[in-house]
Amino acid sequence: MIAPAIVWFQRDLRLADNPALSAAVASGAPLIPLFILDEAEGGDWRLGGAARWWLHESLAALSGALERHGAPLTLRRGETAAALMRLVEETGAAAVYWSRVHEPWTTERDARIETTLRQRGVAARSFAGALLAEPGSIRNAEGRPFRVFTPFWRALAERPQPAPPSPAPKRLRAGPAAASDRLETWRLQPKTPDWAEGLRESWRPGETAARRRLDDFLKDGIGAYDRLRDFPAEDGASRLSPHLHWGEISPLQIWRAAAVAPAEARRAFLRELGWREFCAHLLAAHPDMPDAPLDPAFARFPWASDARAFTAWTRGETGYPLVDAAMRQLWRTGFMHNRLRMVAASFLVKHLLLPWREGERWFWDTLVDADLANNSGNWQWVAGCGADAAPYFRIFNPVLQGEKFDAEGTFVRRFIPELARLDAKYIHKPWAAPERALREADVALGETYPRPIVDHMAARRRALAALATIRGRPPL
């Protein structure tokens, strides 16, 4: 009789192109699929609210898929290593298979687990799959991790083509039954108040939905991706990021499937996948990246402290319509258009002079695609303190950004209905509208919609003066 094997799912919540699952099936052992919820894991970077909602839905989808394939999902809650070892003892499992993830604490944890399993005579086999290239596998000519994206991307894109993604197993041989938590008892979804209505309207988590989203994007979206991706009112984004984060689809599946797209559009799209890889490699090389600036000079930056301004930013009440629409999109849907992430983040750190870590934590709690490497890498990029960062003195003008990328105000009207009737000429600067235009649009500044909480030019001067304290006189 063959002893069972545990397939420990982490952020590889799929059956297709799952090397750990494929290897476990190939072993011939009966399988015990497992997911462990460790509420304490990550410390300050425990799962945010939107991510918890997504995880519930994704686990429900994975559980159904595994059940249909013949091996039910076992759910356990508690400290990861202890929960895993208990299941090994209960079932007599002779092997544990899992896919690697790359947060600093998971790397250390998995090394300890692997040692403990082998000391107990249990085979421990971990696999790549969350990234196209494992951290540390791409280095510059000096043998160091890249700090600039373009040469990193070039090195990644020039690697030999990987093998095609593997299909999902047709059938799974189930191991002995194991006690399992009920997903509902984990309380991953909000109860009162139920703030997830917009998430349910906007998303369908799970492997099947991820594959459908990719197919639809390749059929109808990627051809115009490089032309439309900067316009938030257009459906130009792939919206694959939360599916990628939770491993409902692999980067290899996306990479290979995109080969059918026109060359220019394919390059623009895959470059975004490359940025995701770049951030993951940065985090592996700099484990403190979520909390400390990669540019040490910014440790001396004179950040402001303004709770009222931060609250106005989170609520989409800054008085700058493009910023406010972006922040309301985030709260409503758990997602923000990529260009607007740059505009909204720049507004926080440069117009309001508030620490990038405050914005990073807000995004962590509200994004369904909250990813430690991407989130911290992107915030440091905008703040000017990260690798390959945007210069701090480059300050987005939210009015000009709105006029360029949402000229008719379509996106703003969608998320700020109180401005819906305002003429496009003033939609991104309602304070400049004549009183008659405001009355006709039922807009009362300071009442139905706020006045700007800062003046753009004054805020720009203040930001540059702050930069001068750590850099000397900055460019104007």
Residues 430, 421: Cα–Cα separation, whole Å: 11
Active site residue 275: yes
What is the predicted pLDDT for the residue at 378? 96
Active site residue 375: no
Classify 5-130 by CATH class.
Answer: alpha beta
Catalytic residue, chosen from 303, 317, 403, 431, is: 303
- Left (φ > 0), alpha (ψ -120 to 50) or beta: where does 206 sit? left
Where in the chain are all domains bearing CATH 1.25.40.80?
A: 131-163+207-285
Other CB atoms within a 10 A radius of the CB of residue 226 amount to 17
pLDDT(1) > 80 = no
Q: What is the DSSP letter of 106?
A: H
Whether 356 is catalytic: yes
- Quick one: which of 21, 277, 273 has its CA closest to 137? 277
- Contact present, 337 and 232 (Cβ < 8 Å): yes
* 68-124 tens-digit pLDDT: 999 999 999 999 999 999 999 999 999 999 999 999 999 999 999 999 999 999 999
Tens of pLDDT, residue by residue over 139-174, are: 999 999 999 999 999 999 999 888 899 999 999 999
10-54: per-residue pLDDT in tens? 999 999 999 999 999 999 999 999 999 999 999 999 999 999 999
pLDDT tens for residues 330-358?
A: 999 999 999 999 999 999 999 999 999 99
| pLDDT level of residue 472 (50, 70, 90 thresholds) | low
**In this structure, how many other beta carbons lie within 10 angstroms of the beta carbon of residue 432?**
10
Q: Which of 98, 153, 246, 275 is catalytic?
A: 275
Token match 């905008």: residue? 382
Gap between the Cα atoms of 217 and 202, Å rounded: 16
What would the two tokens of residue 356 be? 């990038």
CATH of domain 296-469: 1.10.579.10
Q: What is the pLDDT of residues 272-300, one digit of tens each?
A: 999 999 999 999 999 999 999 999 999 99
Is residue 379 annotated as a catalytic residue, yes or no? yes
Second-level CATH architecture of 131-163+207-285 = Alpha Horseshoe (1.25)
Using a CB cutoff of 8 Å and minimum separation of 24, what contacts does 253-256 make? 253/16, 253/17, 253/165, 253/211, 253/214, 254/214, 255/132, 255/162, 256/162, 256/164, 256/165
Segment 378-437, tens digit of pLDDT = 999 999 999 887 787 889 999 999 999 999 999 999 999 999 999 999 999 999 999 999
Q: What's the number of CA atoms in the CB half-sphere (13 Å) around residue 6? A: 30
Active site residue: 234, 272, 317, 418, which one? 272
Comma-separated ranges of CATH 3.40.50.620 domains in the chain = 5-130
How many other C-beta atoms can be found within 10 angstroms of the C-beta atom of residue 444?
11
- As a residue count, the chain comes to 476
Active-site pick, 313, 356, 362, 381? 356
User: Which residue out of 186, 338, 403, 418 is catalytically annotated?
Assistant: 338
CATH 1.10.579.10 boundaries in the chain: 296-469
**Known catalytic residue: 54?**
no
